[in-house]
Chain A
Amino acid sequence: MAEFFGATVEDVFKTQDARFRAEDAKGVDAVVAYDITGEGGGRWRVTVRDSRAVTEKVTGSDFGAFTTKITTDAETFIGVTVGKIDGTAAFTSGRVKIEGDMKIVALLPRLFTKYSPPSRGVSARDIIATFPERFRPEAAKGLDAAIGYNLAGEGGGQWTAVVKDGRLEMREGLAENLTVNQTVGARDYVDLMLGKLDPMVAIGAGRLRITGDMEVAKVLPKLFRKYEPKEVERGPELIVLKKTISVGMRFSTGPVMGRFLEGLKGRKIFANVCPSCGRRQLPPREVCAVCRCRAGEFVEVGPEGVLVNVEICYYASPDPLTGETRETPYGTSNILLDGCRGTETFWHYIKREDLFDVKRGSRVRPVWAESRTGSVHDIKYFEMVR
């Protein structure tokens, strides 16, 4: 039988039932007919019903009743199956034809784990086997965790990495009381390790699921040196240079921002007022952009106020002034200080301990830094008035 991309059509259908994921097939009742044309082709029928999958070769020309029929040539079929040909592009260009219920086609990647040719490339099992040599004891100091790897499909399996006292022990199977558990298809896991699949994309699509202690999950990438595939598994080398730009800068405050920052040193918050519309600007700006006139008059506002908007941020972003990653979750907020009206809010942090207690309308006050230099950090954060 003709082979494309290291596999035959027969290979794919032989493993079809073993790749079935019953947990995602609840309520699915469908018969998918495959008419694979040309050299190396054939006809198959895959029935999904009552959380079971049955794959049969069709010998005659009649598929019987089907929900959906997929017609394509053997090369395209295998190419799409192993990810060498873009499925949507093949469909758009007419190389793949679909009759009947389209919805099932979108469901197929969830119902069956991806087929991987038996002899091709590295397996998830191979990568797991490199854990001990890639382990970085210095990064595991003080960590006591059991990390589960639930990698379904060909070349996969279940493992637990037990990290304690700067040591790593690999165990077969998933331990009870896992600190973190990761569930992902074995092929996807390999692609993640090779940098071919973006982790955020995998999480977004529900292909990678991480449960348990997210603080521990975040340090996992640091526990192991990067997996380096052997030469044969790589295409032609493509050079990627990694750099960090770091340049010193000097910002002029100007008289208006300067007066505001000077005020913070003395624990005072100054707004300036537009003589035309009367709005207070926080921080003050030289002009009112709405009225296009100079806003010169300063008034002291606050320091207490009412919370108008609070955002709890879980995304670990870098502080662009230091390049260091901020600790999550943190909360930024917009506060209507006493003396301000409408949208004249003040932008600052909320105390971490108060993050889940405060709400819109909560009364808050600034907590001043001991040493104040005339910067945003002269206020450490706002806290709830209890």
Chain B
Amino acid sequence: MDATGGKRGEQQTADEEHACCKVVEGKLALPYQYFAGRVGSRFIISLRDGKRILGVRCDACGRVFVPPRQTCERCFSDLSEKWVELSDTGEIVNFTVVRYEDRHLPRKPPFVLALIRLRGADTPMAHIVEGVAPENVRIGMNVRAVFADKTTNCILDIDHFEPV
């Protein structure tokens, strides 16, 4: 016992230190929400209710953005009212095959995640490609959007793309 009543301890040896190292299982669980905003909402509602894919055109740069954005990052033009309707077909400009399983992923592996540039758009969007074996997917392949039967109020209102 030392003067303050605590029991005097000793320095730990390296082995003792190692024996005390544990891994504790934990979890992080928190609710949150996402506000799509006026521009994002119009894009999703158009997918959901009209099966139409909308983008916005920057008059200054001449580029068409899909999904739409309120501001052109280069010239800061306001694009929120510059709507254009796009084709539901486009080409694969790049792709990857997802081969690992995770509960956060939208499909069971293996599945194809591609960057697809719709006809009339300048920016590609990421989406799932089905109806073709992963080994047969090619850059330049033409694909068409297949809309979801049930809405989730997000980009998955396009369920996937499939070869034309």
Seen from chain A, the residues whose Cβ lies within 8 Å of a Cβ on chain B are 236-256, 258-259, 261-262, 270-271, 280, 296-301, 318, 320-323, 338-341, 374-375
CB pair A301 B6 closer than 8 Å: yes
A251-B24 contact, Cβ under 8 Å, with A259-B12, A300-B7, A300-B9: yes
Chain A residues, Cβ within 8 Å of B36: 238-241
Seen from chain B, the residues whose Cβ lies within 8 Å of a Cβ on chain A are 2, 4-12, 16-18, 20-38, 40-42, 44-45, 153-154
Q: How far is the CB of A59 from chain B (nearest CB, A)?
A: 47
Q: How far is the CA of A271 from the CA of B5 in the complex (A)?
A: 13
Q: How far is the CB of A275 from chain B (nearest CB, A)?
A: 10
Residue of A nearest to B35 (CB): A240
CB pair B40 A338 closer than 8 Å: no
Residue of B nearest to A259 (CB): B20
CB pair A246 B27 closer than 8 Å: yes
CB pair B33 A243 closer than 8 Å: yes
CB < 8 Å: which of A246, A322, A339, A375 contacts B5?
A: A339
CB pair A321 B29 closer than 8 Å: yes
CB pair B24 A253 closer than 8 Å: yes
A297-B28 contact, Cβ under 8 Å, with A236-B38, A240-B34, A243-B34: no
A254-B21 contact, Cβ under 8 Å, with A240-B36, A243-B31: yes
Chain B residues, Cβ within 8 Å of A245: 28-30, 32
CB pair A297 B22 closer than 8 Å: no
Q: How far is the CA of A240 from the CA of B27 in the complex (A)?
A: 25
Between-chain CB contacts (< 8 Å), 29 pairs: A238-B37, A239-B40, A239-B44, A240-B34, A241-B33, A241-B154, A243-B34, A244-B32, A245-B28, A247-B27, A248-B27, A249-B25, A249-B28, A251-B23, A255-B18, A258-B20, A259-B17, A270-B9, A296-B11, A297-B8, A297-B9, A297-B11, A298-B9, A298-B10, A299-B2, A300-B7, A301-B6, A321-B29, A322-B27
A248-B35 contact, Cβ under 8 Å, with A255-B18, A280-B6, A297-B11: no
CB pair B29 A244 closer than 8 Å: yes
Q: How far is the CA of A247 from the CA of B6 in the complex (A)?
A: 40
CB pair A375 B30 closer than 8 Å: no
Chain A residues, Cβ within 8 Å of B7: 299-300
Q: How far is the CB of B13 from chain A (nearest CB, A)?
A: 10
Contacts A240-B34, A339-B4 aside, 9 further interface pairs with beta carbons under 8 A come to A238-B36, A239-B45, A243-B31, A247-B28, A248-B27, A253-B24, A255-B21, A320-B29, A322-B29
Q: How far is the CA of A301 from the CA of B38 in the complex (A)?
A: 59
Q: How far is the CA of A194 from the CA of B40 in the complex (A)?
A: 22
Q: How far is the CA of A237 from the CA of B37 in the complex (A)?
A: 10
Q: How far is the CA of A86 from the CA of B34 in the complex (A)?
A: 26
CB < 8 Å: which of A237, A238, A321 contacts B35?
A: A238
Chain B residues, Cβ within 8 Å of A323: 29-31
Q: How far is the CA of A237 from the CA of B40 in the complex (A)?
A: 11
Chain B residues, Cβ within 8 Å of A238: 35-38, 41
CB < 8 Å: which of A237, A261, A299, A375 contacts B8?
A: A299
Q: How far is the CB of B102 from chain A (nearest CB, A)?
A: 11
CB pair A236 B12 closer than 8 Å: no
Chain A residues, Cβ within 8 Å of B34: 240-241, 243
